[in-house]
Amino acid sequence: MASTRGNNRVPPAAVPYEIPTEFCSFFTPAQAEELAAQFRQSDANGSEAIDEKEFRALLSRLGTNLSAAETDALVSTIDADGDGLLDIRELVQMLVRLQKGDAKLAALRQFMESLDTTPVYLLEREAAKFGLQVTYLLLEDAQDAVDESKSSYLMELELTGKACGPTGRETLQASGKTTREAKFRAAEAALVRIKKLQPGTAVEPGQLPSEWLQWLFDNIERGASGKKLLQTLAQKGFQVTGNTQCTKRYLRDREGE
């Protein structure tokens, strides 16, 4: 835990609300951003650390409801000096240990899963299926607004990749009262737009990217009709008639009908 006792205090990171570099590989960019944003929101006094009450409120906000005793037990697993404060490095370490299978931190599993429900993460996942890159650019902030009573942030989102068609580019804009809100709204708009794209046009006939192949197999395992799934792939621009893996799975699905 982050100590407040003189020389025992761990020096704060240069950017206190970012995931420490050595742990970045354990999180997607969207997960890391959401985790940092949630921690920042919980640190009301800007001390770069949260107490157990604030930690419990953070967990509750993300769908993990624990008693005071359960929260204390979680904190104690990493609170070496017993000061009751948690900085972002320590929170990240807890989640890394969870991902590595630490049973003592199993109560944080829902908290970890909640990081995968933001529009930014969902767009990150969908963009990968289409082979697209996503970039955000803040165009206008509250200080630039002429009328302060109506101040807002304007975010531009750009999708780039062959699936975007002849131009290889799709640009959207959205505004919000905070940069986070503006970014979320832009991501939500992009999710709507991305459904209209045809990722199959970006690959050779007969090819199916691993993300879409997994999507096909997962849905067949859930009982979906192989014929309808192949129709969906065709609507997305994929020509999979020459894909051996798809054909075998489709025939197996038909045999079970």
What is the model's pLDDT at position 166?
A: 75
What is the model's pLDDT at position 11?
A: 42
Nearest to 158 by CA among 179, 147, 176, 173: 173
Q: Hey, is 126 helix, strand or coil?
A: helix
Nearest to 118 by CA among 196, 16, 29: 29
What is the model's pLDDT at position 105?
A: 87
| Cα–Cα distance measured from residue 25 to residue 122, given in angstroms and rounded to the nearest whole number | 19
What is the model's pLDDT at position 140?
A: 67
What is the model's pLDDT at position 3?
A: 42
Q: Is 253 left (phi over 0), alpha (psi -120 to 50) or beta?
A: alpha
| Cα–Cα distance measured from residue 101 to residue 97, given in angstroms and rounded to the nearest whole number | 6
What is the model's pLDDT at position 7?
A: 40
What is the model's pLDDT at position 150?
A: 52
Q: In Å, what is the CA distance from 243 to each residue of 207, 227, 238, 250? A: 6, 14, 10, 11
What is the mean pLDDT for each group of 10 consecutive residues in the chain (257 residues)? Answer: 43 63 93 92 86 87 84 78 81 92 88 91 90 91 52 92 84 93 95 84 80 86 85 83 61 53
